[in-house]
Every structure is written in structure tokens, then in C-alpha cells.
Amino acid sequence: MKYKGLLIDMDGVIYRENQLLPRAEEFIRYLIESGTPFVFVTNNSAPTPEDLVIKMKHLGVPGLAPRHFYTSAMNTADFLAEMHPGCTAFVLGESGLSAALQEVGIPNDTLRPSYVVVGEGSPSSERITKAHELIESGARLVATNPDNWCPVKGNQTRPGAGALAAYLESSTGQRAYYLGKPNPYMFFRARRRLHSSTREVMMVGDTMETDIRGAIEVGMQACLVLTGSTQLVDLANYVYQPTCVMEGVAELLEELKTGGNTDRMSSPALAIQNESHERSGDRHQTDRRVFARSRPRPAMTK
Ligand SMILES: [Mg+2]
């Protein structure tokens, strides 16, 4: 595997439930010290990059700067600024979304906005009703990401931007446009920050529907880590597949340090699969054992 820059998901890759995953701090320190270009990419549109710097510092990872973070809120702002210079927005979301829109010069508009922009958060029923009325009056509906729910703690979840956008889609009959992962525009703009070509970049993520799907569709390498929402056996449910599977960033760190080549076949992560799946390398969606498996929760995205 050859890559010059990394796009890295955060939740399920670097931390989980506000706890750093094994060797995550060492992994990030190594990236900084070795001068390896990297950007954290998250679908959470609530925080600003400055908020994320502080969060990472409190988790035990100092030395990061706002330029190391690219959120779905920033992606939405970049998209609207590029597609529609001079547009205005009515926002259902948190400070990270408002700040991102302000940064690119898109003003708040409660009268005749070009767009209703939906992100994470819990807006009042009055604001949701206002958004509905504005869409009925001609505003177009845009969401920062398609995640219907987000992990909170253990099995606890909260509604995501995708769920709120779906509510407004139902009430107005208008379809939303979704930015963030897996939209290729998220990967395109995040990759530009690395100053590398698409094929020289590897996305590291834990979610098949967003991290891996988007990276593969835009032509990047995609490394699935098993420290988050996906187990190895789940791979059989998907048509698209990661270019490599690793147990976590600890394994990726070893590869970076040794300059070695941990490919799909040599990763210890795949040894687990060989034990549980008898017929290794023969995964397909028609596999009966796959259909027989219970799936307790629907995927995070549509
Ligand atoms: Mg994740």
C-alpha cells in the first residue's frame, strides 16, 4: 500500500465514548513528527475546528491545529459558496454549522433564504416549523450529512441530521441534498487540503456506508479499522470493499513506522475472519450465513 496523505475519521477510529483507542495518541504524534499530511474528517456538523482542537487536547492529544479538521458543516459551506455565490441560509444546527457558513460569507436569512440547511442538533418545534414554511416558500433543503442517528454511549443513540432532513422531506415533499460522507464532494475538498492526488490518499474509517463507500467511489484507497461500528463479518453485506482491513490505528502505526506493507492478506484482523468464516476469501451477498445473521440496528445512513 502506498499513500502520501491520510484522511482520518474520528469516532470509532481515534476515540470511542470520549476514550482514546489504543495507541491513538502515539499514532497522531507520529504523523505530526514525520510530516505525514493528514486531515480528520467528521460528519458531526456541531463542533467548530477550534472546538475539536480542545476536545482532542482534553482527550490527551495536544499539538493539533484547526487546519487538521474538516467537518461536514465546512463541506456544506464550501459547496454552497461554490455552487451559489451570494446565497443565504436559514440554519437548523449548532455553532459549528453557523460558523462554517459565516466563514464563507453566507448570511443568515429568516425571510427569504436560498437554502434551509440542516445539521446536528435539537432545534425547537418553532424553528422546525419555520424551516418547513421557508421550504414551502421556495427555499431548497440541504443537509450536512445523511446520518439518521449518532452514537452517544453504549447502545444509546441520538437523532442525526439525516433524520431531521427526512422529517422536512416528508412534510414538504421536497428532496434534500446531502453533503458530508459519503458524498464525493466531502472527499474531494478534504483531499485538496492534503495537496496530494486522489490515488495517493488513503481514508481511514470504521463505517462502511460513509468512510469506505465515499473513498472507494471517489477513487481513494480505503482502510477499514475494526475498532468502531463495523466487524469483519459485516463486510459480506456490502458490494464495495475496503482496500485494506486493520485491527485499529495501532496496526497502521506499525506499518508507518516500519515502512512495511500490511496488506489485506497479512493483517492479523483477517486471521479472525479465517477462524469464523471457514471459507476465507469467498464472501458474497448471496451467502446464506450472511442472510441468516440478525442485524439489530439499521445502518447509520440511508
Ligand atoms: Mg466513525
pLDDT in tens, 46-99: 999 999 999 999 999 999 999 999 999 999 999 999 999 999 999 999 999 999
**Does the CA dihedral 179-171-299-12 come out positive or negative?**
positive
| Confidence at residue 263, expressed as pLDDT on a 0 to 100 scale | 57
Q: Which CATH class is domain 73-178?
A: alpha beta
Beta strand pairing call for 149-153 and 140-143: unpaired
> pLDDT by residue (tens digit) across 101-129?
999 999 999 999 999 999 999 999 999 99
Is the peptide bond between 151 and the residue preceding it cis, with omega within 30 degrees of 0? no
| Confidence at residue 104, expressed as pLDDT on a 0 to 100 scale | 98
- Centre of ligand 1 from the C-alpha of residue 86, in Å: 33
| Confidence at residue 225, expressed as pLDDT on a 0 to 100 scale | 97
Using left for φ > 0, alpha for ψ between -120 and 50, and beta otherwise, residue 11 falls in: beta
Are both 5-43+184-292 and 73-178 of the same fold? yes
First CA to last CA distance, the chain: 31
- Centre of ligand 1 from the C-alpha of residue 159, in Å: 16
- Residues of the chain under the 70 pLDDT cut: 1, 260-299, 302
Please name which of 176, 247, 241, 189 lies closest in space to residue 213, comparing C-alpha atoms: 241
**Do the Cβ atoms of 254 and 226 come closer than 8 Å?**
no
Q: What 3-state class would DSSP assign to 38?
A: strand
Catalytic residues: 9, 11
Give the whole-angstrom CA distance, residue 11 versus residue 59.
Answer: 12
Domain ranges of the chain: 5-43+184-292, 73-178
| Confidence at residue 289, expressed as pLDDT on a 0 to 100 scale | 37
Q: What topology is assigned to 5-43+184-292 in CATH?
A: Rossmann fold (3.40.50)
| Confidence at residue 241, expressed as pLDDT on a 0 to 100 scale | 96
| Confidence at residue 294, expressed as pLDDT on a 0 to 100 scale | 56
* pTM recorded for the entire structure: 0.88
